[in-house]
Amino acid sequence: MTYAPSSKLLATLFMTLTFGLASGQAKALTVYTAGPGGLIKQLAAGFHEKTGIKVDVFQATTGKVMARLEAEAANPRADILISASWDTAQDLDQRGWLMPYESPNAAQVPARFKAPTYVAQGISALGIVWNTQSGTPEPRDWADLTGPQFKQVVTMPDPALSGASLDLLLGLQNAQGDAAWKLFETLRDNGMTISGPNAQALTPVLQGAKAAVFGAVDYVSYASVEKGESIKVIFPSSGTAIAPRPMMILKTARQADEARKFIDYVLSEDGQRAVADAWLMPARQDVAAKRPLFKDLALLPETSVSSASRADVLTRFGRVFGQH
């Protein structure tokens, strides 16, 4: 047995690798999702309880989720994608990446929140989140944040990372054109900082380092308010964007049947109640929400934007704020 140690080592190496491979082939459903993390855990657990199907979750920001999908295009792994930006669904649909499916549970979802290949999981809105103890006057509209009282104390989520924030950027550009860019330049000159994906922008506002977030998704803030933090969600008077969170089955899904069952589950009453509990507006109109609905908000006009102009908008935004 002169070769024992080397063969043992090789065997260990081999076993670690193959075991790793084998575990990846278990018949689980793979869901890639942008936050909220607590909601997808709830949904995965509820679905597992009901069907016995395990759900593997990759949860990150919309930008990261989409990047991973793109990077894996040659070798796709995701069955279901839940994004925080409606545009991503339109884009993937145009590329022909999506599998058509109309869930019977989607009957109660308004037409504007569904298409043959995707359907909203829930809806968030963007607003100003303001620290009530910051000593600044309560803002009512976007432009209020350009005032001297808000010098150096406004922050904004990075639209390259946060899908919902990108939707707001597009909404403002569609509604106001160059005036929107002027607004951003004024905000930059007033010392507004760009800080990571959307919830990360909230953290300095919680502690009071910043007084307000320009365009935060509301559900994260509502959850913080529920926990007892002294912040307030304000929907600007000139209008804001809502961000329906599209879920879709990828054409390359290995577990298409399970994927359809998962969509059914999320759109079931149980699933939608979980969505409402995460402080989102449920996609189904017959499930109660814990917060204002989109019908109660002043909304920016909607248009669909091509992917080229979305990239342009991001590039232009990056230039204004000197990102690399």
Q: Which of 103, 117, 131, 272: binder of other proteins (CB under 8 A)?
A: 131
Q: Which residue carries 């308004």 as its tokens?
A: 110
Sequence-separated (6 or more) residues with CB below 8 Å from residue 178: none
State in angstroms the smallest separation of the CB of 66 from other proteins. Answer: 4
Q: Which stretch binds other proteins (CB under 8 A): 118-126, 177-185, 194-202, 253-261?
A: 194-202
Q: Which stretch binds other proteins (CB under 8 A): 4-12, 99-107, 232-240, 283-291?
A: 4-12
Going 270 to 295 to 211 to 167, the CA torsion angle's sign is positive
Q: Does position 206 bind other proteins by CB under 8 A?
A: yes
Q: Which of 92, 99, 220, 263: binder of other proteins (CB under 8 A)?
A: 220
Which residues in the 40-69 window bind other proteins by CB under 8 A? 41, 45, 55-68
Q: Does position 208 bind other proteins by CB under 8 A?
A: yes
Which residues in the 146-185 window bind other proteins by CB under 8 A? 158, 160-161
State in angstroms the smallest separation of the CB of 238 from other proteins. Answer: 26
| Environment class of 288 (CB within 10 Å of its CB; exposed 0-12, middle 13-18, buried 19+) | exposed
**Judged by CB under 8 A, how many residues of this single chain contact other proteins?**
78
Which residues in the 71-100 window bind other proteins by CB under 8 A? 71-75, 77-78
Q: Which stretch binds other proteins (CB under 8 A): 11-19, 136-144, 239-247, 283-291?
A: 11-19
| Environment class of 243 (CB within 10 Å of its CB; exposed 0-12, middle 13-18, buried 19+) | buried
Q: Does position 199 bind other proteins by CB under 8 A?
A: yes
Q: Does position 295 bind other proteins by CB under 8 A?
A: no
Q: Does position 308 bind other proteins by CB under 8 A?
A: no
State in angstroms the smallest separation of the CB of 142 from other proteins. Answer: 21
Pick 113 or 130: Cβ nearer other proteins: 130
DSSP string for 161-226: T-HHHHHHHHHHHHHHTHHHHHHHHHHHHTT-EE-SSHHHHHHHHHHTSSSEEEEEEHHHHHHHHH
DSSP string for 111-157: GGGEETTEEEEEEEEEEEEEETTSSSPPP-SGGGGGSGGGTT-EEE-
Q: Does position 23 bind other proteins by CB under 8 A?
A: yes
**For helices 307-320 and 86-94, what crossing angle results, to 10°?**
140
